[in-house]
Amino acid sequence: MSRGQPTLAEICVVACAEAWRGDGAILASPMGVIPTLGARLAQLTFEPELLLTDGEATLLAPVADGLVTEGWLPFRQVFTLLAAGKRHVMMGASQLDRFGNQNISCIGDWARPRAQLLGARGAPGNTVNHPVSYWVPKHSRRVLVDRVDMVSGVGYDRAAGLTGRSGRFHELRRVVTNLAVLDFGGPDRSMRLRSVHPGVSVSDVADATGFLLTAPYQVPQTRLPTEAELALIRNRLDPQARRDRELAGR
């Protein structure tokens, strides 16, 4: 591959960045190397008002030679933004089903699981209170399942039962994987194939998905990085190429 051609990791960075397009001045909370690079790329290009933190209490803004502190956001204030729908998190998922229910808690029967994972943590509140996207570095039938073993993050089928104002900010935006980009524009807000990465076919994605996936008649290719975006990723945001290591062995 020549120096000018984008790698799969760089295509995924741009796909993650696109999840925040149009968000404006909200708090972006990316989890993982590639989502973090995507959020920073969005802030540097088409979403300059996006807010990013160091994960603790400092708001960070890009400058020519790195990042500068632009404000203070103690963790208690994050919950204020969360409850008001002013945050967009990109999380991971051990399992994700057709309606966007996420599992990061356990595999198998929750009473006697085969594997104990992170636990639900903040996933229920995140998914009910503000926009959520997902990053899946290995698209497979083990992750994209027909039904999750335990619901940590709330999908569209369960959110439909929320009453009053409790689900007013529920929105599942995108799912970015190492094969494709998906959204929830299918029947009854089920998962839909939005684009495939270069060299990936629709059948490749279908074979790696544990449920019947909705797809348009013609599925476009995922947008490639521009030359300016590639320069930012390679020279400024990630000169150590940590992005490639996140996909190594996938």
* pLDDT tens-digit map of 148-157: 999 999 999 9
Is residue 65's pLDDT more than 80?
no
CA distance 237 to 244: 13
In words, the CATH class of domain 8-247 is: alpha beta
Is residue 130's pLDDT more than 70?
yes
pLDDT of residue 94: 96
CA distance 132 to 185: 15
What is the residue-averaged pLDDT of the chain?
Answer: 91
Contact 20, 50 (CB under 8 A): yes
Question: What mean pLDDT comes out for the span 36-64?
Answer: 86
Q: What percent of the chain has pLDDT over 70?
A: 96
Query: Can you name the residues that pair with 193 across neighbouring β-strands?
Result: 182
SS3 content of the chain, % helix, strand, coil (to 5): 30, 25, 50
Contact 9, 1 (CB under 8 A): no
Q: Which residue has the tokens 């995924």?
A: 12
CA distance 52 to 60: 6
Contact 223, 12 (CB under 8 A): no
The alpha carbon torsion through 167, 171, 172, 174 (nearest 10 deg) reads 180
Each domain of the chain, given as residue ranges in start order, spans: 8-247
